[in-house]
Structure 1
Amino acid sequence: MQVYGLKNCDTCRKAMKSLAAAGHEVTFVDVRADGLPEAEVQRFLTEFGDDLLNRRSTTWRGLSEEERAGDPLTLLRAHPALMKRPVIDQGGQLWLGWGKDVQAALLS
């Protein structure tokens, strides 16, 4: 299982801790420090569409209206922290965020 996010993100840390406690072998990928291959970004965008962009983030609020209207792939390349987190890959199945639905599916 791979978890994509930011190392300083509280939600990502909670997800990692809970998944490990549930017995999952988890690899963490810091999208800012490690980068994210374009193929992965494309796969995430195909699965989640515009929901992949975190429109409540400080990074998003700092963008101009013109930048916000840009292509999501371009935005995520320029600003990896714009990705809603975490994205969890469990054997090819993707999960977005750490809501109750994701927790129920992955921790039960």
Structure 2
Amino acid sequence: MITLFGIPNCDTMKKARTWLDQQSIEYTFHNYRKDGLDKNWLKDRIDELGWEQVVNRRGTTWRKLPEDTRNNMNAETAVEALLEQSGMIKRPLLDTGNGYLLGFSADKWSEALK
């Protein structure tokens, strides 16, 4: 089963969900804020994809972090920060059943979901 991870009000998430619906692809939506995050699952995603990719460093939540926290971020501290502020996870994160895709790209998603 395909799972789409994110938050519902994000514009990119809306595009991703619309695209999946238009392609008639069934998926489960996991809302980070409502459904929560498992620490081990998050650690595995950071180990697989890299904290630099998983953490959205362009968002307001990142910019609101203390400068010292931003400057000293690593895989371990990223897990803790994302558990506290799930809105900082780059969106969307798609579990294809064969791996994870971070960010929305119709071309990449099309290829991965063939």
TM over 0.5: yes
* 1:64 paired residue among 29, 53, 66: 66
Q: Which has the higher helix share?
A: 2
- 1:29 matched to 2:30: yes
Which SS does the other structure have where 1:4 is aligned? strand
Unmatched tracts of structure 1, length 5 or more:
none
Q: Distance in 1 between matches of 2:98 and 2:40?
A: 13
CA contact (8 A) 1:11 1:85 kept: yes
Note the residue ranges of structure 2 that are not aligned, 5 or more in a row: none
Which residue in 2 is equivalent to 1:39?
Answer: 40
How many angstroms apart in 2 are the aligned matches of 1:41 and 1:84? 12
Size of the alignment, in residue pairs? 108
User: Are the aligned partners of 1:53 and 1:72 in contact in 2 as well (CA < 8 Å)?
Assistant: yes
- What is the 5 A alignment of 1:1-108? 1-49=2-50, 50-68=52-70, 69-70=72-73, 71-106=77-112
Shift in alpha-carbon separation, 1:23–1:106, aligned structure 2, 3 A: farther
The Cα offsets for residues 44-103 of structure 1, whole Å up to 9 and x where unpaired, read as 101211210000000001111122224111111111011000000011410000035534
- Tell me if structure 2 keeps the 8 A contact 1:16–1:26: no
Distance (Å, rounded) in 1 between the aligned partners of 2:100 and 2:58: 21
Distance in 2, Cα, partners of 1:101 & 1:21: 14
RMSD (Å) for aligned C-alpha atoms: 1.6
Question: Structure 2-normalised TM-score?
Answer: 0.85
Give, in whole Å, the separation in 2 of the partners of 1:78 and 1:36.
10
